[in-house]
């Protein structure tokens, strides 16, 4: 069987990583790249740098990776759908719900595989966490809290921290808990002199009754990526920078010292850091999409799921704008 012919549009900071992985992907040949701004990182590797998505389509590709800036996702994706080309689009799926819905509708109508690059789903720590939650190791899930902060990424110019970074946490929260957001309340801040927000604090309610909390900014000198899930039997902490997963079990030994017992509440039991296989999330993401294109059973982030994430992000911004709790219906 001939290798799949892949194309890549967008040769910026993320595009260079997609090019690297596509070139190493078994059963796939990267045959065409496009970017109207040229190839600033020298990732074309001898391929001509095509001017736009239409030229990419004319190269005769089976599927495309869209790593262009968010504001161009809808235009590029719709062109690929019209041409019958499968596509994975970097997150967020589109700059607004209108564009995201149009993409999901177009790929579904054409019977094409359409996916979104929510890479955190492929982080080994979060994959292990979801399996353990699904297996009942935590019992009832009470709360999920995430912290995602670090320095400002110079690659971002067209969206704020909500759609660039918080969409990671919105998607992973819904996926890990297998619940949907039903309402959000948020506050934002503008500290870097840009037109877009650079800090957000979000409180969410999920369909299964779980409460969520998300602190996101690109104002911090250090980088932090933590997901903390608290439930009936203890707490899981996933550090997605290191792909580590740790479990803090509720204590089973009764505290008999009364002066201490009245303050401690739930006591700490065993602490376990799991040994888990750690493969590069971007490679696993591309393998999953390749398999989906080949018609194999695969776990991809669908465009319909990507649309739901954009809808939650817009509800977050609406809540921050008027100071109310915003219900979510997708």
pLDDT at 282: 98
Same domain, 193 and 217: yes
Chain-centre distance for alpha carbon 163: 10
pLDDT at 34: 98
pLDDT at 259: 65
In a domain? residue 51: yes
Which residue is associated with the tokens 């009936």?
232
Same domain, 255 and 130: yes
Same domain, 8 and 58: yes
Tokens of 296: 């194999």
Same domain, 193 and 318: yes
State the Cα–Cα distance between residues 216 and 152, nearest whole angstrom.
12
pLDDT at 155: 66
In a domain? residue 31: yes
Q: What pLDDT tens digit does each residue of the chain (330 aa) get?
A: 799 999 999 999 899 999 999 999 999 999 999 999 999 999 999 999 999 999 999 999 999 999 999 999 999 999 999 999 999 999 999 999 999 999 999 999 999 999 999 999 999 999 999 999 999 999 999 999 999 999 987 766 678 999 999 999 999 999 999 999 999 999 999 998 888 999 999 999 999 999 999 999 999 999 999 999 999 999 999 999 999 999 999 987 676 777 666 665 566 789 999 999 999 999 999 999 999 999 999 999 999 999 999 999 999 999 999 999 999 986
In a domain? residue 305: no
Same domain, 125 and 271: yes
State the Cα–Cα distance between residues 251 and 270, nearest whole angstrom.
7
Same domain, 225 and 291: no
- Overall domain count for the chain: 2
Nearest residue to 278 (alpha-carbon basis) of 311, 240, 315, 250: 240
Same domain, 108 and 151: no
pLDDT at 314: 97
Sign of CA dihedral 279, 281, 286, 289: positive
- CATH at residue 67: 3.40.50.720
Can you give the residue range of the structural domain that contains 45?
A: 4-118+282-299
Q: What are phi and psi of 25, to 5 degrees?
A: -80, 125
Which residue is associated with the tokens 């990507």?
306
Same domain, 246 and 151: yes
Same domain, 170 and 214: yes
pLDDT digit string (tens) for 218-236?
999 999 999 999 999 999 9
Q: How far is CA 95 from CA 163, 215, 310, 313, in A?
A: 8, 21, 8, 10
State the Cα–Cα distance between residues 27 and 12, nearest whole angstrom.
25
Nearest residue to 82 (alpha-carbon basis) of 100, 51, 103: 103
């Amino acid at each position: 069987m001939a290798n799949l012919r892949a194309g890549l549009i967008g040769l910026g900071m993320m595009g260079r990583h997609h090019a690297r992985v596509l070139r190493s992907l078994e059963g796939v040949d990267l045959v065409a790249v496009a970017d109207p701004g040229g190839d600033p990182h020298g990732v074309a590797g001898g391929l001509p740098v095509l001017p736009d998505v239409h030229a990419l389509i004319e190269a005769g590709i089976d599927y495309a990776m869209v790593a262009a800036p968010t504001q161009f996702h809808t235009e590029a994706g719709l062109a690929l759908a019209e041409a019958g080309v499968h596509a994975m689009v970097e997150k967020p799926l589109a700059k607004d719900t209108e564009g995201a819905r149009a993409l999901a509708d177009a790929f579904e109508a054409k019977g094409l595989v359409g996916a979104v690059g929510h890479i955190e789903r492929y982080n080994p720590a979060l994959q292990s966490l979801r399996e353990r939650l699904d297996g009942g190791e935590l019992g009832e899930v009470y709360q999920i809290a995430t912290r995602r902060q670090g320095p400002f990424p110079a690659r971002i110019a067209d969206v704020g921290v909500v759609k660039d970074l918080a969409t990671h946490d919105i998607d992973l929260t819904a996926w890990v808990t297998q619940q949907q957001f039903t309402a959000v309340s948020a506050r934002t801040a503008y500290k870097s002199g840009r037109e877009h927000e650079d800090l957000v604090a979000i409180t969410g309610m999920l369909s299964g009754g779980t409460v969520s909390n998300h602190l996101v900014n690109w104002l911090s000198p250090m980088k932090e990526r933590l997901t903390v899930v608290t439930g009936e039997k203890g707490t899981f902490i996933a550090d997605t920078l290191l792909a580590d997963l740790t479990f803090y079990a509720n204590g089973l030994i009764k505290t008999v010292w009364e002066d201490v017992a009245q303050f401690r509440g739930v006591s700490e039991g065993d602490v376990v850091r799991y040994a888990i296989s750690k493969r590069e999330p971007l490679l696993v993401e591309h393998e999953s999409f390749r398999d989906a294109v080949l018609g194999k059973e695969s776990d991809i982030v669908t465009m319909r799921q990507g649309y739901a994430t954009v809808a939650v992000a817009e509800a977050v911004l609406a809540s921050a704008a008027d100071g109310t709790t915003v219900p979510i219906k997708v």
